[in-house]
Structure formats: C-alpha cells, structure tokens
Structure 1
Amino acid sequence: MPQGKPSLPQLVEVAKGEQPSDHNHAAPKTLPNRQRSRGKDINVVPDSTPAAPIVISASGDIVLEYTAISSGNSHYWQVSSKLLMLGSPYFGAMLDSDKFMEGRLLAQQRQALVDRMASGAVNSSPGDNQDPMPAMLPIVKIPVSAKSELCGVEAIQIFLKILCFDLSETEEVQDAFHHDLRAQSSVLISKVIDLAEWFNSTKPIRTTLRAAQYRGGIKSKSSASVKVFTLDMLKLKERRIREMILISAFLGLDDILKAMTHTLIILGSRYWRHGLERPMIEEYPNWKYLSNGLEEELFHRRQCVLNTLTDLQAHFLRSYGGLESDEPIPKRKTTLGAAFSSRNLELQCRNGLDNGMQCDIFHLGQMTRFFALRTKTIFLGSTLVDENFYIDESDESPEQPAGLKEDGAHEEPQFAINQVIASLKQYPDYQIDNNHTGCGIRRRILPILDGVERFTADNRGLLGIQANLWQSPESRKQIAWSEKQGPNDHTVYIQFSRILKIDIPLHGAVKINLSPEDQARFMFTAAKYQWET
C-alpha cells in the first residue's frame, strides 16, 4: 500500500449475544430495516451497534466499524466483503487472505462461522435463513486518520455505499441509487472524492458518479447554467466554486470545469492574498489547494490578466511623462501636437496650442489621482522608508486579523477583475479648459478595455481550463499559460479594441485566425504590448 496511507485494520470476532467491552452503545430493542436507504436519506447516519449495524449490503458478511476521534462515537455498517474488495483496490489488498495476516484472519473467522451454522450451533437470522445475525459477523475497523476525520461519517457512509453497490441490481434500483447520488451536495461529494484518493479507490467512485451523471448537486433544469460562464457565477461563494472545480476535474466535466475555473480567475481567491502557499495544517480538504497543477495554473492566469491591466495603466502614465521610457514612444498618426523634445516625449494634447504642455501635466495629475485613489489600482509609496524600521518599540502590537475559518469567512476575497475593468471605464473626460476637449485618455482607454473585457466576460470562459486537455501532459504544454516552453516572449499589437498582430521572436507574426482560447493566452502572456498601433 502507498506510504502514508491508513494502517491495516484489526479484525475482532464478536460472538453471538456478546458486546465488545470497549463500546458503550446499547443495542436497540428492534433491528433496523434491512432495505437500502432511499432518496435524501442516503447520507443519514443513524445510531448503530455491532448487533444492529446500518445495512449497506443485505447479505453482508462483515461489519465495518469507525470510531470518530472528535466525538468518540462508533458507527457500524454491514457490508459485503466481496463487493468491497471488488470496488476498492485498497480494501481488496487489505482483505486478501493471500497478502495480509488480517485477510487470513478474516477468512478463518468466516469459515468458523460457516461451520458453526452448518453444525446447528447457531441460528440464522429470522428474516433470511441464509444469512447469519449481524452480531455474529466479524468486525473490521476502518483506519482513523486526519483525512477521515476531516471528511466525516456522512461522507464515509456514501463512500461505502458506492463501493458496495451491487451492479447486478435491477434497473429500477440502480436508477433510484443514481437519483440519490445526484441529489447530494457538492460539499459531501467533494469529501467522498477526498476519501477515494486517500483509500486509493478513485476508479469505482469516478465510474459510479459518471454513471449517475453527477453535476455538482445542481437540479437538471438549472444544470445548463454551469456549462457557460455567467455573471451570476460571480455571486457564488469561493468554497462552492472550488468544490465544483474539484468535482468537475475529477469527473472530466469539460464545460463545468472551464466555466468554474474562469470564475475563480475573475474573482480571485482569499487564499492567494499573500501569494501561492499550501495550507499550513497537516490535512486539509483538497478544494483548498487544487492538485494536479490546477492551483498554480489558476493563480498564474489571474496574475497574467492583472499584469496586462497594470501594463495598460503604465502605458498612459508613460505617455504623459509619469514614468521613464527605455525607448522613444513612436509618433501616433492621430496626434496633432508638435513634439516636445526636452524629455524625448511627444505632447499628447490634441489641439497643438501653446499651453499643450500644461494640458499634459494636468492630465497626468488627474490620471495619477484616479488610478491611486478612485480605482486603487496603483500605489504611491516612498523609496526612503525602511520597512523594517519601527518608531514605536512598545510591547503593544497592532491587533491581528482573525484566522481563516474553513470557508475563509474571516478574510475578504481579492478584488474581482470585472470590477477593476468597470472601475477603469469610469474614467472621466477631464479637460483643462473648453479648448482642450478630448485631450485626456478616456477616448483612448475605453476601446482597449472593451477589447480586454471581450476575453474576461465571454460566456465561453476563455480564461478557464478544459479537463480533457489538462489531463494529458502533451496537451497541457500547449494550453498552460505557465508553461515555460511556450511563446512567452512575444509582443501583442493592439488597435482600438482588437489585436492587430502577434509577433513572436524567431517565428515572425502569428496569424489572428486562432481559437478564442489561444487569442486569450497570447493576449495575457505577452512580454510586451504596443497598445495604440
């Protein structure tokens, strides 16, 4: 078994009428119904004892026991060892009499029980002359770990129900079981997936959830709403979005994964506020840090979009003299003003009047104030302040924010990209006087922002990830924005709201008849932009 996985369980034989000495639960007066649970009760975990376990397999020959560390309560499920071993490679190896001592001990106890029933030493169950009483069945203890405690008893029960579901059941029974699974919330199913990975049983869980056509617990009538990106998705809580990403990646649901990853890129994550770091706790739900490179790729894609918007602001600050330029700014055909040669800058004033320089200085001040105070998309700070120097050396320290809960409710999420674009679009049409109409950047920045928004607001989720392409290492290199082997040193030429051309060193210009996803990738991973060609 893989290193770090749960240890093998201990098998305890329970004789008829005896109760284990380490259990304080009294047996109920009547046995529970031996039929499978139906509908919404699939995840209900009622009280149970070794003599009256929760029946998952009516003809089950073992009883699984799980004792939660947090509560100390024990839970019991009657299951079929044959179905359990067929459904799970982990339990198949663990209960194999040819591989482990626990499996051989189980075989001996099962044979001893058969011999006792054949000799008439014990009576069979009143409801089925072929089955022994649950109190006579051997007990297998499910290993307790931080992961199983994190997932909880409800998820363990659904996990066992999937592993022990008999595929030879009638079509009606299978339809009812699949209907029950589709009704389960994304919270529970994401925990079941965590357990499946922990117990090395992903294949049967994936197969069953696909057969049930599970789509995140969303009703069939509204399932179309998660196939494409909509603004309503931005209202979802981050935990819900991440659970849907985990489930859709696990099941290979291309449409949902693409829409949900696009949504998380637009919204940002409260777990990215201080950079990309794994949770510090020993065990955490997989949705908190997505595996298979997804977390790193989504973080990288968001940063690419934000860097593009930052470069756009820097372009106009540089044009008006607010930032140094390493090379002369090419003369724009639409500019009517004469060149101002003292700083190798071209006047941005459209009218070519004598106060053209004052017009540019005015707009530079208004632009800086708008970006720094209104949209808060740039920061003005001092290079003279040592961040490690503190004037107040008293013992009193500023109050620290409360730590994150499991859903991150104590910390606000990052700003959404669509809100940044909407804020930049509110740029007023400043003018120094009535003779300088349209000298500011509003008429120039709005078309460019429309072009950027064409990628971020597209209902196809152009920033998102497709499951079928991400699973293959070869295709992943073609679509990953963070892939260093890709063309990440190219220049994008922008004309108004569209990409004019893409220039890749040593390859020349790229034709623009690319897919929308490839255009988005080239747009936001460019090393350099020519914003006004």
Structure 2
Amino acid sequence: MATNGEESGPRKSTSNGRSSAVDSALGALSIDDESMVVPIATHGDLVLQVEHEIAGSSAHASFRVSASALKQSSRYFERLLQSGRFGEGVRVEALHRTLKEQYRSMDKVPVGELPVIKVQDVGRTSAIKSLTSLCADLLHILHGQDIQTNPLVANLANLSIVADRFDALHFVGAHVARKKFLRTIDGKTTAKAEVALSEEKVRQRLLVAVMLDHRPWIERYSARLIIKGWVGREADLSTPLWWDLPSRIEEELAYRRECVLETIQSIQSYFLGLYTSRERRCKLGYDSSAQCDSYQLGEMIRFFIRNGTLKLQGGVIENDEPSEQFTGDATVLLESLRHVPEYQIDRHHSHCGIRTQILPLLDLLGECLLRVGICGDCWTDSRAQYAWMDAKRPLLWTRQAFSLRGQGHANHHADLRAMYTATDRDWGQ
C-alpha cells in the first residue's frame, strides 16, 4: 500500500493554484475520477482507493473519508496512518500540513488534492455485485453512520470479511448488535425457512456469528453443520471465507463430526461384541439359549449390513478399499438404527434381541446430538479448555457414569466431550 508518488522539490505554484509538491505527492485525480469518489465524510481529509479482484476482473472504488475516524474505528488504519510508523502515515501528515497552509482548513480542500491511500484486496468475499456498495457500508459504519437498509445475511457475511481485512470487527460487531440486525433476521425467519436453509446460508450465518461475536448463532449453526455432514472438505482458497471458516472453527467442526459418527458406530460395535463373546445373553432356556444367541447375532449382522452401517471383510488378505465415511444427516442415521426388528427364534423367546436394549441408547444419543454444537461462550472465553480437538481422549467412557442432568455448565460440556471423544465406550447399564 502506498500513496501516489513521493514528495520532492521545492514548493512552486501551478496553473490551477496547487503546489507542485502536492501534485507530485498525490498524482492528482482526473475529473472523471473525482466525480466517482463517494463522499463518506463530506469534509474528509483523505481519499481511500480500493481495488479488488472479482471473478477474474478487477473492481475499483474511491471514497472521501476522515483519517481520524478510520484510526479510531480500525486498528489497521490506526497503524497505517500512525505518524512515524509507516511511510503512508508520514506522507499523509506532511501533505496535510501543506494543504492546511494553502487552504487553512481541510474542509476547503477539493477532493482531487487530498492524499490518496490505496488498498488492494478486501478479503475472500463472494462475487459481489458492487464493490462500492460493500465498502461504502463498511466505511459508513466506521464513521459512526447508519447504513441505508437492514442487510441480508450474505451481505453481512461479506461485510464481516472486509471488516476483518481492516481489523475493525469490534467496531462493526458493536454496530450490528446495537442496530439488532441479527435479531431482526431471526424474527423474519420462519420455522419452515429455517429448516430449508442451504449449507451456504448456514455457513454464512455461522461466519457472521463468529466474526461479530453473536454467540446464539454459533451454537445453533455449528450444530447444524456437524449433524448435516456439511464439513470435512478440502479448503479452496478461491471460494468465499464461509467455505473455510476461520479461527479453527472448520477444524473443530470436522473433528466433532468424526466423533459423532464414531460414537454412533460404537453402539453397533458394542452389541456385536456382546453377541460374539462367550457370555450367554439369552437366559430363557437351558437347551435353546445358545441357539437363540446365534440366531440373534445372525439377524443383527444381516440388519446392519442391509442398513449400510456394517461391512464384512476377510482378514486373510487386504483386498478392499477403506469404506467411505457416512456423509448424510446423523439424525437420519440414528433413525435408521431404530428400525431394527425384535427378532424371535420361536414364540417362547420374546425380547431376546437388541431392539429393547438399543432404543434407550439411541434416545440418549439423539438428545446428546442436540448439544453437539460449539458453545459460543466457552469457545470465546476458554477455548483451550473447551475445544474437542485439543483435549486428551479418555481411554474409557461408561454409560453408568454419565448424566445430562444436574451438571454445571463446564462439567456438562466436559462430560459430553468425554463421551464423544473416548477411545472406548461401555454402553452397558
């Protein structure tokens, strides 16, 4: 980033009344350029030129702004324009002194004679229709002004990305909270529309929530991404930022999704282990109980294979590719396991199968699944202690020691994490 040109040579009068020092330092704007400068601050003392690549083509926008307002609301501009720290700040300060000598007040300086700061790239936004509108919304907020209308979620997501680029999320977040934009969006979103949200729209909401610190949305939409399986893909830097969520959110979501699937699968493994062990499960008849156990094991294996949750593979030689991870809705996966029939080897053997045993476990997992999202408070305030991906995995989790009720906030999260991340799980009573 740089201003247009360098200050050099003695100050001499020019034909239009400006000094050659100003012309040399600024590279005067043409009349056409001047007419395209958007006045954010009518009497601003700086021109901000923004360039951004959109879909392979370059877009440009220019704004008359207040340097002091930018420095107060953006850490990026505070550092950039700080006197004596970077060349831009030194040159802008020198040019302001020169212009004040000529005009006495910066309010009187024509836009074409103001210092110009150029900024390239506003971040990983989507293919926006108007760079001018997007940057104008941000600059209006940074100058303490209201924007014209309540923005859509996609616009807020792009606005957050640009605010992050200029290290002004704290200021924009405070403005969005004060204007209650997100509460308004919630109020206008019906239950039917909420269910129908696409992955991209959910990701946009989560990005806004993370960047602008709207914690209710963090838990709600992170859970949605985990449950739906909308995580775990390779990052593509050419896509908008919501497809590669920052602050390690993307990694945490992918890890939680993997833990959820592993936990569901552990229930299946638990029952297979019970019925392949030497311990007799059926107690209803001395002569027939062994046959009942074998029958139940066979029917159980057949159900899991037909359900797509089990694959038999020979152990003599490795000749198959690893199975692909389930990519669908975790609630649908749980529901499919509920369809296991109550198999009976004969009329004397009722409730010998796994149906009556597995349904309470599926109920428990269904309730736990509602709590799998990232808690915004804990993620923001105590991430090191809260994040799943950084936690040491327990060697064994037991159902007997687990309860969803009567727990403090932190202990509730810790117990839930232990269940999902354990190396081994005992689902017995």
Q: Is the 8 A contact 2:160 2:212 kept in 1?
A: no
Letter of the 1:514 counterpart: Q
Is contact 1:63–1:78 with CA below 8 Å preserved after alignment?
yes
Cα distance change of structure 1 residues 200 and 254 upon mapping to structure 2, 3 Å threshold: closer
1: distance between equivalents of 2:271 and 2:61? 66
State the Cα distance separating 1:413 from its structure 2 match.
Answer: 9.1
Tell me whether 1:98 sits opposite 2:84 in the alignment.
yes
1:379 to 291, 301, 311: 311
Question: Equivalent residue for 1:307?
Answer: 262
Specify the alignment match of 2:120 in structure 1: 143
Letter in 2 for 1:489: L
Q: Aligned pair in 2 of structure 1 residues 523, 25: CA closer, same or farther (>3 Å)?
A: same
Identity %: 26
Name the residue aligned to 2:252: 297
Match in the other structure for 1:83? 69
Q: How does 1:13-28 map to 2 (within 5 A)?
A: 27=32
Is 1:370 the counterpart of 2:303? The answer is yes
- SS of structure 1 residue aligned to 2:57: coil
Are 1:529 and 2:425 an aligned pair?
yes
What code does the residue aligned with 1:262 have?
A
Candidates 353, 360, 373, aligned match of 1:447: 360
TM-score normalized by the length of structure 2: 0.79
Match of 1:319 among 268, 274, 290: 274
The verdict on how the C-alpha distance between 1:55 and 1:512 changes in structure 2, with shifts beyond 3 A counting, is: closer
**What corresponds to 1:255 in structure 2?**
216
**Alignment partner, residue 438 of structure 1:** 351
> 1:421–1:131: structure 2 CA closer, same or farther, 3 Å change rule?
same
Give yes or no for the alignment of 1:64 onto 2:48: yes
* Corresponding residue of 1:492: 398
- Helix, strand or coil at the partner of 2:49: strand
| Structure 2 partner of 1:210 | 177
How many residue pairs get matched? 406
Q: Pick closer, same or farther for the CA change 1:284–1:10 going to 2, 3 Å.
A: farther
What displacement does 1:144 show? 3.6
Change (3 A) 1:476 1:84: closer
Residues 109, 476 of structure 1: CA spacing in aligned structure 2 closer, same or farther, 3 A cutoff?
A: closer
Paired position in structure 1 for 2:401: 501
Question: What is the CA–CA distance in structure 1 between the aligned matches of 2:42 and 2:29, rounded to whole Å?
Answer: 25
8 A contact 2:138–2:159 mirrored in 1: yes
Kept in 2: contact 1:501–1:511 (CA 8 A):
no
Q: CA deviation at 1:149?
A: 8.6
Task: Specify the alignment match of 1:340 in structure 2.
Answer: none
1:207 Cα deviation from its structure 2 partner: 2.8
Q: 1:353 to 1:413 in 2, by over 3 A?
A: closer
Q: Is 1:469–2:378 an aligned residue pair?
A: yes
Cα deviation 1:83-133 (Å, max 9, x = unaligned): 122222222332344333333333344444444446xxxxx9xxxx95444
Task: Tell me the distance in 1 between the aligned counterparts of 2:172 and 2:160.
Answer: 7
Q: RMSD value over aligned CA atoms?
A: 3.9
Q: CA deviation at 1:424?
A: 0.6
Aligned to 1:286: 241
Q: 1:95 to 1:524 in 2, by over 3 A?
A: closer
**1:425 shift after superposition:** 0.7
Q: Which residue of 1 aligns with 2:232?
A: 272
Cα deviations across residues 192-217 of structure 1 (Å, max 9, x unaligned)? Answer: 32233333333322332333234277
User: CA–CA distance in 2 between the matches of 1:15 and 1:215?
Assistant: 54
Distance 1:235 1:514 in 2: 33
CA distance in 2, matches of 1:199, 1:426: 53
Question: Residue 451 of structure 1: CA displacement?
Answer: 1.8
- How far the C-alpha of 1:264 sits from its partner, in A, is 1.9
Change (3 A) 1:12 1:418: farther
Question: Structure 1's 361 and 268: CA in aligned 2 closer, same or farther, altered over 3 A?
Answer: same
Work out the CA distance in 2 between the residues paired with 1:206 and 1:184: 14
SS of the aligned residue for 1:437 comes to: coil
**Partner-residue secondary structure (3-state), 1:523:** helix
Task: Quote how far apart the aligned CAs of 1:372 are.
Answer: 1.8
- Structure 2 unaligned spans of 5+: 8-13
Superposed displacement of residue 514, structure 1: 2.1
Deviation at 1:233, TM superposition (A): 5.0
CA distance in 2, matches of 1:454, 1:203: 35
Contact 1:11 1:106 in 2 (8 A): no
Counterpart contact for 1:234–1:263, Cα < 8 Å: no
Work out whether residues 83 and 164 of structure 1, in 8 Å CA contact, stay in contact via their aligned partners in 2. Answer: yes
Q: Find the counterpart in structure 1 of residue 334 from structure 2.
A: 421
Structure 1 residues 387 and 370, CA gap change in structure 2 (3 angstroms): closer
Using the alignment, how far apart are the partners of 2:79 and 2:87 within structure 1? 11
The TM-score normalised by the length of structure 1 is 0.65
Distance in 1 (alpha carbons) for counterparts of 2:272 and 2:388: 28
Structure 1 residues not aligned, in runs of 5+: 1-6, 28-48, 119-123, 167-176, 326-343, 389-411, 494-499, 503-509
Which structure features the higher share of helix residues? 2
AA aligned to 2:224 is T
**1:26–1:262 CA distance, 2 compared to 1 (3 A):** same
